[in-house]
Structure 1
Amino acid sequence: MILKRLKFLCFAAIVLNYKVAYADEMTLKESESIKSEVMLSFKQLSDSVKAVNIDKYLSFFDQKKFTSLNENGTVYHSYTDFEKLIRQQLPMVKTYKHLVFKNVKVTVINPDTAILVNEYDSGVVLKSGEEFSVSGAGTQVWSKSKGGWLLVNVSSSMKPVNK
């Protein structure tokens, strides 16, 4: 009887170890899939900025859950305030000379949440003819919704401007 219990416990341990290892492998596959999905959404977001397509850009933000930490040390707890700022500023842009993202990393928190961190370098030409460059870093919290991945939080910082 004791030998049967011992065999059963050994068999149960082997099965349990297999299931745990298999679950970890599946989690890794799911995580990589989520990273790819978020990176695709990020690319589409950045393409909409380069195209100065305000409506497309704003379509990547969750209007109900959105908050932000701004470069000037203020916050928005309302999508409406953020949208108002974007609709005032983005139309002043004629074109982007360049908009490059580097050191991009996506960290999957769970199947519905991922954090994307990046550094950026941009060159902008305004409709007034003025040109300037800005570099910095950003953090984005993406949340999965029925329509895909949406931003629920963004924060950014700028590198000091060299004079």
Structure 2
Amino acid sequence: MPSVYDFTATSLAGEEIPLKRFEGQILLIVNTASQCGFTPQYKGLQELQQEFAPRGFSVLGFPCNQFGHQEPGDAREIEQFCTTNYAVTFPMFAKIDVNGSNAHPLYQYLKDEKSGLLGSAIKWNFTKFLVDRTGQVVARHAPTARPEGLTKEIEALL
């Protein structure tokens, strides 16, 4: 059975990261943007990372510029923004497409596994996919879902 561990993604530093590196962890995979109304969610995502990382949890951030061109920066600018403004310590990956013919294969898989209310396409930045320890997608949350509102769901998987 396929899982998120079957994919590879490029880090902001340009390193190819096999997601198998996160095997056995609970993951929250999020498409992010630096100039979005939901950008302050970085704070909540970082708080989840700090609270649950010792128990086998990680947020994985995937910058995306497909919605309102709200992630115009390059990898260095994205990293600087996240570090300076939100002290992000969770893994951030290179900017990707989440929809369309150039969508990253991981996002094709995530969308196939959990469709949204209006179909499988990602509707905006900060859509969140919760993944269990076996690499299976167990939930999809809309951009309006605040990270701190996912605490009980994450704890149940831990």
Classify the TM-score, shorter chain.
Answer: under 0.3
| Larger RCO, structures 1/2 (Cα 8 Å, 6+ apart) | 2
Question: TM-score, normalising length from structure 1?
Answer: 0.25
> Greater helix percent: which structure?
1
